[in-house]
């Protein structure tokens, strides 16, 4: 868990921009405020669509009597906009969209607290804007810019000064942007300059243990300031990131006053009352958090659904092998998109067992998805003939195995090209870690839902999806309830079936051992001796380390996929391909 960082206390240097002319408003004190927490699902670059979502949430909040509607970080542009935000044409379009949205707040409409990229004196900031009474009433800039993991905001934004509170209808709101809550300076400055309620807008992506972090930092800021806190997060998938919502309110006594559900759009109405010099939030709806398997599965479903829909693919195409990875991928796809948008293809070779054929058919039947069969044996024979002179005198080895995998990849890509569905890769994090995958073969695809899921978790998720808990919890799933993965798929030994009697454990350590070693190497960056003392043989640890580093060149060519852990492959973990350090020196 990330450590809470406390900086040296320094004099408050709050700066702010209130209204276009820098005017200050003297407002009568109010004793009641209705604040709506609007966790919406924006799409990066879809300014028109994002403004429509903001307006729809504002209309819903207005019907409930809201005075103020709070949205997530960069809700206007979508988050993260990456280098798109550097285009002057995009910056101009954002400003036009904000001006139009501000005009809609006239005539007694609720005020809107929204995030947007914003230029000031020729400098670009990650900003928070108060739109009220038909104008841009206040602007604040993000002070703490994250520059780690998937975040590189210092690349595109300038850091803003420490902000002062925003005066809104008789209340001084201490507004912050995401990372500003993770350090004490901004909240301290807001407290010292008279803030009465802290309010944080966020673009905080899902990770399996992140909810505790958010609550811990929120509690730390409340403890330091004795002020209640509003936390509003985005929801939805953006490339590899999934924003899980879960917006909440904590009272000045650190009690949970209201919480929105995770992974769904929601407008949460909260009622606030002044008692003496303090504000309290009435107890409101508090969504119950699910277990980690539910959260991980929901992240996979939402990530795939938004990737496919936002990029306008008609559906997905899956190579169904009769193994657990393709079965779970198909289940996620059916839940995300509906069974009519999932097309599975079984591509048997001479080494494919009857059990695999039967298991693939049963799984497709349980899911209610289309399953076609295309034999790759003619392709294998064609390649054997084509390469006969080149391979003369050479013994068969993994080359011939990879030809099979690549024949399947070519088959899927041909069907994808013809009909438009996106190929969904089915490789898991364990396999991608050690290179147990074939470039241009089973690594083919436009997206992967298992990219950040270890093999042991694949088994756990499969058992969970088959159980009663899934039917109760997956309220927005489009696939069937109940058992969708045949028991034999879960219990049989995993195999690529590229040669007779092959199993994964011919090449790899048992997955429970492999995954623990990989977690130590990837998520924890432990040294070899520290991993060995957990009960792993030193030579096994060395071998896994070597496989992990040697497979970096493959991972650079892998499709994107849902991030679920603190260190997913890609921008979370950037290792050199050319690298001779192996940890045993």
State the catalytic residue, choosing from 7, 12, 95, 142: 142
- Is 73 among the residues known to form the active site? yes
Distance of alpha carbon 114 from alpha carbon 57, whole angstroms: 12
CA dihedral 142, 147, 150, 151 (to 10 degrees): 20
CB 290 within 8 A of CB 275: no
By the 10 Å C-beta count (0-12 exposed, 13-18 middle, 19+ buried), 114 is classed as: buried
Q: String of b and e for 407-433 (b: at least 16 CB within 10 Å)? A: bbbebbbebbeeeebbbbbbbbbbbbb
State the catalytic residue, choosing from 144, 153, 178, 188: 178
3-state secondary structure of 102: helix
CB 240 within 8 A of CB 562: yes
- Is 520 among the residues known to form the active site? no
Distance of alpha carbon 370 from alpha carbon 286, whole angstroms: 40
State the catalytic residue, choosing from 73, 179, 188, 513: 73
End-to-end CA distance of the chain: 29
Residue partners of 106: CB distance under 8 A and separation at least 6: 133, 134
Nearest partner of 522 among 405, 414, 432, 401, judged by Cα: 432
How crowded is residue 338: how many other Cβ atoms within 10 Å of its Cβ? 16
What would the two tokens of residue 535 be?
């009960």
3-state secondary structure of 151: coil
Nearest partner of 422 among 555, 310, 335, 325, judged by Cα: 310
Q: String of b and e for 121-141 (b: at least 16 CB within 10 Å)? A: eeebbbbbbbbbbebbbbbbb
Nearest partner of 481 among 503, 466, 491, judged by Cα: 466
- Is 154 among the residues known to form the active site? no
Nearest partner of 347 among 332, 365, 328, 326, judged by Cα: 326
> In whole angstroms, how large is the CA radius of gyration of the chain?
26
CB 437 within 8 A of CB 431: yes
Contacts 24+ apart (CB under 8 A), 506-509: 507/436, 508/430, 508/434, 508/436, 509/540, 509/544
Distance of alpha carbon 458 from alpha carbon 432, whole angstroms: 14
Distance of alpha carbon 451 from alpha carbon 571, whole angstroms: 13
CB 434 within 8 A of CB 514: yes
Residues identified as active-site:
73, 142, 178
């Amino acid at each position: 868990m990330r450590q809470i960082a406390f900086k040296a206390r320094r004099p408050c240097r709050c700066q702010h921009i209130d209204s276009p002319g820098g005017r200050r408003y003297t407002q009568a004190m109010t004793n009641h405020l209705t604040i709506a927490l609007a966790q919406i699902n924006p799409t990066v670059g879809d300014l028109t669509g994002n403004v429509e979502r903001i307006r729809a949430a504002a209309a819903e909040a207005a019907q409930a009597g809201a005075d103020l509607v709070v949205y997530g970080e960069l809700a206007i542009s979508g988050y993260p906009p990456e280098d798109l935000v550097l285009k002057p044409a995009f910056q101009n379009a954002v400003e036009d969209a904000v001006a139009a949205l501000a005009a809609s707040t006239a005539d007694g409409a609720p005020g809107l607290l929204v995030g947007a990229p914003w230029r000031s004196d020729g400098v670009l900031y990650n900003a928070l804007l108060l739109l009220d009474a038909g104008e841009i009433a206040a602007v604040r800039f993000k002070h703490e810019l994250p520059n780690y993991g998937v975040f590189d905001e210092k690349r595109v934004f300038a850091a803003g000064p420490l902000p002062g509170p925003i005066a809104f209808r008789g209340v001084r709101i201490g507004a912050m942007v995401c990372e500003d809550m993770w350090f004490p300076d901004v909240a301290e400055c807001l407290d010292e300059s008279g803030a009465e309620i802290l309010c944080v807008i966020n673009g905080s992506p899902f990770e399996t243990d992140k909810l505790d972090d958010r609550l811990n930092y929120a509690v730390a800021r409340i403890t330091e300031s004795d002020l209640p806190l509003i936390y509003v997060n985005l929801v939805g998938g953006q490339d590899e990131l999934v924003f899980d919502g879960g917006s909440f309110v904590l009272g000045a006594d650190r009690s949970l006053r209201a919480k929105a559900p995770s992974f769904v759009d929601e407008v949460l109405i909260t009622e606030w009352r002044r008692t003496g010099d303090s504000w309290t939030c009435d107890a409101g709806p508090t969504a119950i958090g699910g277990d980690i398997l539910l959260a991980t599965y929901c992240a996979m479903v939402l990530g795939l659904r938004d990737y496919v829909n936002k990029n306008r693919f008609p559906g997905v195409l899956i190579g169904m092998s009769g193994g657990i990875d393709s079965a779970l991928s198909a289940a996620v796809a059916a839940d995300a998109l509906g069974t009519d948008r999932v097309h599975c293809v079984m591509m048997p070779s001479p080494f494919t067992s009857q059990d695999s054929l039967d298991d693939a058919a049963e799984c497709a039947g349980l899911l209610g998805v289309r399953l076609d069969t295309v034999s790759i044996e003619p392709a294998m024979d064609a390649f054997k003939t084509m390469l006969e002179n080149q391979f003369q005198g050479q013994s068969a080895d993994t080359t011939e195995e990879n030809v099979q995998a690549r024949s399947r990849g070519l088959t899927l890509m041909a069907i994808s090209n013809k009909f438009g569905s996106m190929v969904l890769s089915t490789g898991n994090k364990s396999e991608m870690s050690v290179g147990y995958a074939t470039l241009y073969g089973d690594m083919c695809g436009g997206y992967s839902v298992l990219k950040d899921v270890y093999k042991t978790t694949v088994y756990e998720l499969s058992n969970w999806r088959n159980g009663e808990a899934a039917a109760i919890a997956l309220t927005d799933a489009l696939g069937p309830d109940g058992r969708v993965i045949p028991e034999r798929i879960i219990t049989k030994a995993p195999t690529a079936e590229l040669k007779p009697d092959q199993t994964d454990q011919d090449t790899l350590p048992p997955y429970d051992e492999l995954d623990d070693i990989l977690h130590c190497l990837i998520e924890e960056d432990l040294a070899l001796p520290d991993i060995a003392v957990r009960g792993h043989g030193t030579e096994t640890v060395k071998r896994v380390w070597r496989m992990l580093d040697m497979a970096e060149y493959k991972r650079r060519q892998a499709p994107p996929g849902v991030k679920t852990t603190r260190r997913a492959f890609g921008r979370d973990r950037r290792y050199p391909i050319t690298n001779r350090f192996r940890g045993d020196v």
